[in-house]
Structure 1
């Protein structure tokens, strides 16, 4: 393909119909390629901004700031592999299991952000948010539309499963969401409960076993163990304040 044919293909991809209508007059114009570069860059920027807004990832610390020495154990290689996003190609699920305060949500946010940067659609919500929203819908048609929208992204993140208990209806809705994505798109989930404890999260729900079965069928399950990182940070802040109060020359309040 000649350079001018390549430029025309780019103009067609951008749907620049006015430019294409006068293409024979522009084949020798040096400004055509810079114009296409500007248009492609601007559209890519707007697309990224839109996908980031739609993803609802929120503010988070970069993975570079994660203290890998604090959790014990933590499979750093497995998390790095998730950051590589290959699991999206095979519709594999990823489940981060660990107590509160160990960085599960932070890791999930970093993976979600990486997916957006690489052109994937993403939706990040807590379990409480999505199940509360779905359960509040009375109309069957509206519920189907919301489920279709919620199940559509290439990566669906459901954060904080296990911090609250849910009714049978909530369990059914989560099952429906996961079932719609099973073997077609990836779900990333964080939970502070082992699967053996999910009967306490969804007490008396008949679909709990089937829900877990769908999740673990094609899943990377990463356990993160240790003491709360937030508690560690709070303790360090308290110790730092105590040292300041004891510093020489500091007059008592």
Structure 2
């Protein structure tokens, strides 16, 4: 009698139904290679562990909310040789997360700030960490909406507990009250408890200017910068524009005639 029909309900009860995906192949392999029962069982368990690991990885990637799948493997360090590759590869170990430190990535538009931030988030997910990528505008909009529905504390607590929070485009838009208070509260909750990556077009010396309340801004930035790693990007923009196509000869002659008329 074939054991498969009897196995299916039992595997489902044990939440091991994924084993069915490779059971037939592994069973044939065990017969061909005359495997011991324990070796056959070990292969099935390894398959199940690999499946669950991949499923958790895929779930974390979806929850992270990355704009796109940016990794360090596809970042062109040669485009701007001044970028400190050694520093970024050291950050890729995610040792800064053990230190509960922030990573601040600053530089002009198009120099790869968002790419590197998302790539570091990808590295954290590979290590089994939960990551959330968001922009300053989206983050503050969510907190404002939560305040309107009396769920601010719950939303703030969720943001405070994520292993790695990535805030993109800090200071791109000036903060208004109570946005500056929201940022202050969030940074305060995460301070020395969780790591945060922040990208900005502003120089670090200009960050306080984004806050309407200068005292609140000073306190917030002081917490952000304490023990933080700063990555300064400079050079050409990766966002190159394509040259416009040259007009055909007939089109040029047509324009000339039109201008004479």
**Residues 72 and 210 (structure 1 numbering): CA distance in 2 closer, same or farther, change over 3 Å?**
farther
Which residue of 225, 228, 234 corresponds with 1:219?
228
Q: 1:38 to 1:176 in 2, by over 3 A?
A: same
C-alpha separation between the residues in 1 aligned to 2:52 and 2:41?
Answer: 17
Preserved contact between residue 97 and residue 224 of structure 1 (Cα < 8 Å): yes
Q: Pick one of 147, 154, 157 that aligns with 2:163.
A: 154
Instruction: Determine if the alignment matches structure 1 residue 90 to structure 2 residue 99.
Output: yes
Aligned counterpart for 1:116 among listed residues 94, 108, 125: 125
Q: Which ranges of structure 1 fall in alignment gaps of 5 or more residues? A: 1-14, 19-27
Cα distance in 1 for residues equivalent to 2:216 and 2:109: 26
CA RMSD in angstroms, aligned pairs only = 2.5
Please give the secondary structure, in 2, of the residue aligned with 1:167: coil
1:188 aligns with one of 178, 192, 197: 197
Secondary structure of 1:228's partner?
A: coil
User: SS of the residue aligned with 1:138?
Assistant: helix
TM-score normalised by structure 2 residue count: 0.75
- Structure with the greater alpha carbon radius of gyration: 2
Equivalent residues in 2 for 1:48-59, closer than 5 Å:
48-59=57-68
**Count of residues in Structure 1 that have an aligned counterpart in Structure 2:** 219
After TM superposition, give the deviation of residue 217 of structure 1 in Å.
Answer: 0.7
Stretches of structure 2 lacking an aligned partner (at least 5 in a row): 1-12, 17-35, 252-261
Runs of 4 or more, structure 1, over 6 Å off, are none
Q: Is the 8 Å Cα contact of residues 156 and 187 (structure 1) preserved in structure 2?
A: yes
Residue 68 (structure 1) shift: 2.8
Counterparts of 1:30-109 in structure 2, within 5 Å, are 30=38, 31-71=40-80, 73-109=82-118
Structure 1 residues 45-102: Cα deviation after superposition (integer angstroms, max 9, x where no partner): 2111111111111214443443434447322211111112111111111000111111
**TM-score after normalising by structure 1:** 0.77
